[in-house]
Amino acid sequence: MPRDDLVGEQVVDDEGAAISFSASHGPFRDYRRTTEVEHLAEGEVALTSTTRFRLAIPYFGWLFVLPVRRVLARPDRGHRQPWWAPPDRLDARAASVLGVLALASLVAGYLGTVLTQTITFAAEEFGLDGARPQGYTLAAVRVGVLVAIALVTAADRWGRRPVLLVCALGGCLAAAAGALAPSLAWLGATQLVARAFATALAVLITIVAVEEMPRGSRAYAVSVLGMAGGLGAGACVLALPLADLGRQGWRLLYLLALAGLPLVRSLARQLLESRRFIAPHDLVAMAGHGRRLALLAASAFLLALFTAPASQLQNEFLRDERSFSASRIALFTIATVTPAGLGVVAGGRLADVRGRRLVGAVGLAGGVGASVAMFASSGWTLWAWSVVGSVVGGAVLPALGVYGPELFPTSLRGRANGVVSLLGVLGSAIGLVTAAALSERLGSLTPALAVLAVGPAVLVVLVLVAYPETARRELEELNPEDRLAAVTALPPRSTPP
């Protein structure tokens, strides 16, 4: 019988003693299973099944070869997907797009992390002590979101692919320029440009993923991209001990951004334009979408009030208030943030299967609460609370990260998400400035973050009472303006070259 679990099979050759199957649907570039029946003595029968496959996942396919092989070696699971796979089976195109976007997320993750990891060392070289100069610089860098809005708006007109590639290329070059900064102000200026490209890149990656994935696997896709982004951020953290080489060692991390250029070149060969952008869709105005825009913009603002200072001033907190060296900061970050992958993956699957709102609310409350406890701790409890906050808070990314692309039609998706990012950046700037000022007045970053945690607390209520449930609903159902581009009218999915 043809399988219908990780792969949907069809019979291609039936010679009685041997039956061959190919993949009619599934994440495979090539697939063939041959079952042979041999009749033995005394009525016994020997059944041999041989499967040959090649996954349609570029760059990261090797990670899935062994798990896929184990699934295919077992009997058909009857429409059930393995725990590590998306709830809705991906076809070859979706798998290929997800792999390409994961590589782009790796680049975005590094670009979005390098300033956070190095600013405390840059400030030391430039003779600027305390959290205030760093907080003001990090806040000023956020002005680049205005450029990011222009970029993602252009993607609504010119296409996701060309703008995404421009953002990846520009982000790498602008970040590398930071290695030559003669002052903290100049470093902030180069990062303003780099962060603009990185912000637009991250937004477009999520948009393309949501536009390409099946309805029951959008949050899963965002979780995978979050993991890839975390890998890029982790690469930056692993390189952080370079800052211990001397007062200017931190500059090497900016030069490493040039390593992203070969990856961008590879992306240009592999990345496809979004099917939903190519498909016919109405050009609609922002009028009539104000409630959704206000809801998501307010949410981004409230969340960033806390998360921006909590993440971007963490290294200064560890170095100044807990006397960590660069190497110990790197060890702490890797040891406590790596487990977040469990929360991201579990959160993505639960958000697709159980719904977005409950998963998002629990992740917010638990993650923020544990983070505040971490800043109030020392010794081993500092490490323990950080792990708890990373794992529980990791579920927020896939559960709430899909709402931006889901709640707006194709012709507004980039612009609307740019506006949401603007409010998130405004919240992060206010949070950074407030945290820096309060920490100097109160003598510690901990009470400042406890005050700013009110923002996510309000967001928990908003998620539970105001957010619509979007799990397992087609984008065209959520956005009636796009019914011209209903799935049945979309360009057919084809196996990527």
* Residue bearing tokens 């782009």: 104
12: which 2 tokens?
A: 């291609």
Report yes or no on 64 lying in a domain: no
pLDDT (tens digit, 9 = 90+) per residue, 359-378? 999 999 999 999 999 999 99
Report yes or no on 167 lying in a domain: yes
Tell me the residue type at 38.
Answer: E
Report yes or no on 479 lying in a domain: no
Other C-beta atoms within 10 Å of 433: how many? Answer: 17
CA 83 to chain centre: 20
Query: Considering Cα of 171, then 175, then 177, then 182, what sign does the dihedral take?
Result: positive
Report yes or no on 495 lying in a domain: no
pLDDT-based confidence at 218, cuts 50/70/90? very high
Q: Answer whether residue 485 shows pLDDT above 50.
A: no
Range scoring the smallest mean pLDDT among 26-30, 43-47, 321-325, 396-400: 43-47
Same domain as 172, residue 46: no
Report yes or no on 296 lying in a domain: yes
pLDDT (tens digit, 9 = 90+) per residue, 61-92? 999 999 999 999 998 877 789 999 999 999 99
Report yes or no on 65 lying in a domain: no
362: which 2 tokens?
A: 């629990």
Report yes or no on 163 lying in a domain: yes
Tell me the residue type at 52.
Answer: R
Q: How far apart are CA 282 and CA 413, in angstroms?
A: 12
Report yes or no on 487 lying in a domain: no
Other C-beta atoms within 10 Å of 270: how many? Answer: 17
> Structural domain of residue 36, as residue ranges?
1-55
Q: Of 413, 467, 152, 159, nearest to 284 (Cα)?
A: 413
Q: How far apart are CA 31 and CA 345, in angstroms?
A: 27
Same domain as 98, residue 50: no
403: enclosing H helix or E strand:
helix 403-406
Q: For 358, phi and psi rounded to 5 degrees?
A: -65, -45
Q: What is the pLDDT of residue 486?
A: 52
Same domain as 382, residue 446: yes
Q: What is the mean pLDDT of residues 451-464?
A: 97
CB 110 within 8 A of CB 232: yes
How far does the chain reach from its first CA to its final CA, in angstroms?
Answer: 30
Tell me the residue type at 115.
Answer: L
Structural domain count, the chain: 2
Same domain as 24, residue 158: no
Phi-psi region of 127 (alpha: psi -120 to 50; beta: other; left: phi over 0): left
Same domain as 45, residue 108: no
Q: How far apart are CA 206 and CA 349, in angstroms?
A: 16
What Å distances lie between residue 376 and 130, 139, 154, 379, CA to CA? 19, 24, 44, 11
Partnered with residue 13 across adjacent β-strands are 20
419: which 2 tokens?
A: 């506006």
CB 204 within 8 A of CB 152: yes
Q: How far apart are CA 413 and CA 292, in angstroms?
A: 12
Helix extents (H) in 178-244: 184-212, 218-238
Partnered with residue 33 across adjacent β-strands are 21, 51
Q: How far apart are CA 214 and CA 195, in angstroms?
A: 30
Same domain as 184, residue 41: no
CATH number, domain with residue 331: 1.20.1250.20
Q: What is the mean pLDDT of residues 280-285?
A: 85
**What pTM did the predictor assign?**
0.90
Q: How far apart are CA 240 and CA 406, in angstroms?
A: 36
pLDDT (tens digit, 9 = 90+) per residue, 293-324? 999 999 999 999 999 999 888 988 998 899 89
Q: How far apart are CA 32 and CA 26, in angstroms?
A: 12
Beta strands 8-14 and 45-55: pairing type?
unpaired
Same domain as 143, residue 12: no
Same domain as 29, residue 105: no
Q: What is the pLDDT of residue 263?
A: 97
Q: How far apart are CA 245 and CA 31, in angstroms?
A: 51
Same domain as 104, residue 5: no
Same domain as 115, residue 12: no
